[in-house]
Structures are given as C-alpha cells and as structure tokens.
C-alpha cells in the first residue's frame, strides 16, 4: 500500500532556531495536513492545505508556522523560531479527495532544547 513518508524521524534543535519538517505525501493525493501530539496530550490539528494554499488552520498555527509544497512531491512544515513548547511528535497526512480517509506518516519527533 502506498504510504506517506516523513523525514527526519527525530529532530533536535536549539530554542530560537528554524526547523523544517519534511513530508512526501502519496503521489496522487491532493489534500495535505499537519497534526502534532505533545507528549501525553491529544493529537491536534494544525493546518490543511489544498490547491497550493492553506484551507484551514488552528489557533496553534500562528505566524511562526508556515507550510509549503515546493515541488510536486514534498510538503513541508517550517517553524521559524522554535520554542520549548513546540516539542512534540508532528504527523503529516494526505488524502485523495478531502472526503476520503487520511493516510498518516510515522511522524517526526521534534525536541527543542
């Protein structure tokens, strides 16, 4: 079965640094998402992306966050100036139509020191 690929699996960074989390969605999918899970808490929606623009975002997704589909295969999440509270597991997901099920990647564990 096709799968969503996320890299790296673990990322450690210093507070204030920029990080880019990378995702390769399933090739014919059109809808893309980022979720995150802070340790011990719920998986939270961050943003959805369709047709090269953000279709919805949560309150968490402030000006420090941005998403981009720089080419036909990658979907990235950038955090401009990381904070300690950004430490979490970040999941990328994609969907063919936005009405069908989501396919998730295995996540990137981000640790901000």
Partner 1 sequence: GNSVTQMEGPVTLSEEAFLTINCTYTATGYPSLFWYVQYPGEGLQLLLKATKADDKGSNKGFEATYRKETTSFHLEKGSVQVSDSAVYFCALSTFGNEKLTFGTGTRLTIIP
CB of 44 to partner 1, least distance (A): 7
Residue 97's φ and ψ, nearest 5 degrees, are -120, -10
Cβ neighbors of 40 (< 8 A, separation 6 or more) are none
Among 35, 49, 61, 90, binds partner 1 (CB under 8 A): 35
The answer to whether residues 94 and 33 touch, using CB atoms and an 8 Å cutoff, is yes
Among 105, 108, 110, 112, binds partner 1 (CB under 8 A): 105
CA distance 64 to 80: 5
71 part of the interface to partner 1, by CB under 8 A: no
Q: Where on the chain is the footprint of partner 1 (CB under 8 A)?
A: 3-4, 6, 31, 33, 35, 37, 40-45, 48, 56, 91, 93, 95, 98-99, 101-107
């Amino acid at each position: 079965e096709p799968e969503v690929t996320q890299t790296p699996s673990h990322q450690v960074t210093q507070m204030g640094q920029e990080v880019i989390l990378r995702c390769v969605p399933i090739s014919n999918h059109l809808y893309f998402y980022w979720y995150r899970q802070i340790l011990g808490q719920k998986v939270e929606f961050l943003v959805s992306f369709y047709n090269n623009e953000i279709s919805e975002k949560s309150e968490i997704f402030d000006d420090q966050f941005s998403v981009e589909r720089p080419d036909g295969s990658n979907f990235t999440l950038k955090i401009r100036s990381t904070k300690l509270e950004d430490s979490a597991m970040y999941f990328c997901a994609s969907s063919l139509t936005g009405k069908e099920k989501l396919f998730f990647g295995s996540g990137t564990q981000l640790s901000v020191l």
